[in-house]
Amino acid sequence: MKRDLTSYEILDRVFPIQVKTGSPEHAIFKIDDQSSGDTSPIFCVIHAKAEKSSGSFQMEFQNIPVNEYVEELAEEFEGTWSEGEWGKHLCVDLSLKDLAKLNRLAKAIRSVVGRGARYSVPSWKWIAPRTATSLEQFVRKVKAVKRADLA
């Protein structure tokens, strides 16, 4: 009988390990599309932390574009906020069953700079859509691995 893949195993198949933690039992995976050409200190960096033995993972957003909708979803998802040097940081504990939450969060982040929106950080004009797209791609890639594993 085939067993379900853990969050760690799925993330390890799709995303590069960003940070070697010194332990083979957990890793931090790079989720965003930041490249060497992205030099802005306010770029929204996205990581997923996962342990090999756990079915859950933690998404970390550094310098996340924020509006009331993003804040409401973070509260609904029981996320924790902290202040960084260049903006707000958000951590959310999730499982592979929570992918729809990430799609909702992507939509909220995209709305930060939507038609008629006012926002305090001019760079969010390009950061918010890229952040949302990174989340949407994360969901698609994870779903594809889960589907392939079931086949």
82-93: b (≥16 Cβ within 10 Å) or e: eeeeebbbbbbe
Dist CA 64 CA 69 (whole Å): 13
Beta strands per DSSP E along the chain: 17-19, 26-30, 45-51, 56-62, 80-83, 88-95
Dist CA 97 CA 150 (whole Å): 15
pLDDT of 4 reads 80
pLDDT tens per residue, range 31-41: 998 888 877 88
Q: One digit per residue, pLDDT tens: the chain, 151 residues?
A: 567 888 888 898 888 766 667 677 788 999 998 888 877 888 999 999 998 888 899 999 999 999 999 999 999 999 999 999 889 999 999 999 999 999 999 999 999 998 899 998 999 999 999 999 999 999 999 999 988 876 6
Strand partners, 91: 60, 80
pLDDT of 39 reads 78
pLDDT of 45 reads 93
Please state the domain extents for the chain: 7-34+42-115+122-150
DSSP states along 106-146? HHHHHHTTSTT---S-TTHHHHHHHHHHHHHHHHHHHHHHH
What pTM did the predictor assign? 0.90
Q: Which amino acid is at 69?
A: Y
pLDDT of 20 reads 64
